[in-house]
Amino acid sequence: MERKNRFRSGPFIAIGAISCLALGFTFGKRAGEITPPAIDAAGDLIGLTFSPAEKDSMISTLKNQLGNIETSRKTTLDNSVAPALIFNPLPMGFQPDQEQKAFDWGMKGQVTLPEKESDIAYMPVHELAVLIKNKQITSERLTKIYLERIKTYSDTLQCLITLMEDSALAKAKLMDQELAAGKYRGPLHGIPYGIKDLLAVKGTKTTWGATPYKDQVIDETATVVNKLNDAGGVLVGKFTLGALAMGDVWYGGVTKNPWNLEQGASGSSAGSASAVSAGLVPFAIGTETLGSIVSPSTRNGVTGLRPTYGRVSKHGAMALSWSMDKIGPISRSALDNGIVLSVINGADVMDASTIAAAFNYSVKNDPKKLKIGYFKPYFEGDRPTLANDKKVLEVLESQGFELHPLELKTSVQAGPIVMMLMVEGAAAFDELTRLGWDDQMVAQHRNAWPNLFRAARFIPAVEYVQLSRQRSVLIKEMHELMKEYDVIVTPSFGGAQLQITNLTGHPALCLPNGFAANGSPTSITLLGNLFEEEKLVMLGHMIQQNTDWQAKRPPMFDK
């Protein structure tokens, strides 16, 4: 990898603590001395002014700071090294339930095996599990069906990075042997699945979707993958993501929406959502920092679950924002997502940000007892997909729910706090910027990572801490709002809820709810209290039992 080092040793023109040059960077200009005019320039960038005496006093301190930065940069940090400051989304006095009970998924005793392989491919996990347990289909045959579909369609969709055919078939045969011997691991026994290629798997490339890392091999396996494999899952492939977890543009192209090949799959869990939508796998693992499960689930017409921050271990996953990254399932049903979450849930000694919490789902729990709110202002107006959102409310009312209108109001704005993501991302990919590797990235527009990471170097540490303090206020206010309800229904992109709930760590379930005029799917989102995903699954499952939006298939791939 070519190293175009942006770090310069020797004297620098400082423009204050956030200055590009005082931080050891040059962007096409010659470096020079730390001077009062340079400090004035820095003040302009952050809205501060200093007297001549104050500037004179600062010069020696700035030189010392620069020396400390130069010394610090001699230590190379891997992306996997998390900060010593660990984000915790729990408001004061709140602790999640720790009593884990037995699961009751309410799965059928018998399921009819379809004749057509395409019909088999589009079956949800909770039905495939019955077929395998009853030995109506082998894991080997099911795995071969999905492998063939991946080989047939993945180039069209540009959704695959690594096909894991040999290891998948070996695992499938082992699952069949275990079942024949009377050993059944649970609902994921013998079920094929895929993962977003920011999760490490020993012996495979982990490309993060970005050119500088396209040949990267990480010598470990992510915790979530180990858990899925232990539960009997059969990993068939690693799917695309927008480079470094943004959008649907990766080093090999643009991942496509199976409903409209002229449209990208959205991101960043683009490949996972596209593959599930096209029937290439029954479920896949995605990640979300600021919409990367919700957005591709919407675009591709599938069901995505963003768990509470800290519920699922991030060990072995690429870090973009240590305080915002979350890992969750994308599938064809809310119930499937619950089954997968039950496996990947749990504290992990390898991830200090994980929080032990029970996930108790039972079909015996009555969803009619849930108190449902909805963000009323987001269901008003004349936007094109409003009718689809209102249909969800109508479905709930037809099932006897009383819907409680409310507004999402907070004393602090979420938009500025998102700068924390930018700072953490710039730190996670420090070398990418300093050594000029960012020039290799496909996307180079103003809102692409290369530019955002460069600009984030100018956000002062003091402001990052202030934003974190505002985030604490936001967490408290959202907790007070949410705790009055079991579930809140909202348009997936209504107002600032997507930003807010990603910052506060609240869980969300994104469900298909119809189609836009251009034929692309639309979605609705259910929000839950911290560590109460079972209520999202309960209500989502009930909605999907009374509608058929999630059962629709993209015609070009229904073969």
> Could you tell me if 169 and 49 lie in one domain?
no
Structure-token pair, residue 181: 């011997």
Asked if the structure places residue 418 within a domain, the reply is no
In angstroms, how far is CA 404 from the centroid of its own chain? 29
Distance of CA 74 to the CA centre of its chain: 32
Residue 276 belongs to some domain of the structure: yes
* pLDDT value of residue 170: 98
Q: Which band of pLDDT confidence, cut at 50, 70 and 90, is reported for residue 262?
A: very high
Q: Is residue 98 part of a domain?
A: no
- Bridge-based pairing of strands 326-331 and 403-406 is unpaired
Does the active-site annotation cover 333?
A: no
Establish if 243 belongs to a structural domain. Answer: yes
Contact between 372 and 403 under an 8 Å Cβ cutoff? The reply is yes
190: pLDDT strictly greater than 60 = yes
Check which CATH number belongs to the domain holding 297 and give it.
Answer: 3.90.1300.10
Of 61 and 99, the structure prediction assigns the larger pLDDT to 99
Selecting among 55, 196, 256, 314, the annotated active-site residue is 196
Q: How far apart, in whole angstroms, are the C-alpha atoms of residue 143 and residue 193? A: 9
N-terminal to C-terminal alpha carbon distance within the chain = 43
0.75 cut: is pTM over it? yes
The pLDDT of residue 2 is 47
140 and 51 both lie in a single domain: no
Residues 374 and 492 in one domain: yes
Instruction: Assess whether 159 and 20 both reside in one domain.
Output: no
Instruction: Find the mean pLDDT for residues 21-42.
Output: 66
Q: Is 144 a catalytic residue?
A: no
Q: Are residues 395 and 317 in the same domain?
A: yes
Would you state the pLDDT for residue 24?
52
Which of 269, 274, 292, 333 is an active site residue? 292
60 shares a domain with 125 = no
Q: What is the domain range of residue 6?
A: 1-75
Each residue's pLDDT tens digit, 468-481:
999 999 999 999 99
Are 147 and 38 members of one domain? no
As given in the structure block, the two tokens for residue 481 are 């709002």
What pLDDT is stored for residue 26 in this prediction?
52
Q: Is 106 inside a domain boundary? A: no
In a domain, 109, yes or no: no
* 3-class SS of residue 250: strand
**End residue of a domain, out of 75, 105, 133:** 75
The verdict on whether 272 is a catalytic residue reads no
Specify whether 190 is located in the same domain as 138: yes
pLDDT at residue 27 tops 60: no
Domain for residue 38, yes or no?
yes
Task: Name the pLDDT band for 14 (thresholds 50, 70, 90).
Answer: very low
User: Which of 19, 154, 266, 268 is the catalytic position?
Assistant: 268
Q: Are residues 145 and 32 in the same domain?
A: no
| Whether residue 53 sits in one domain with residue 135 | no
Number of folded domains in the chain? 2
Q: Is residue 202 a part of any domain in this protein?
A: yes
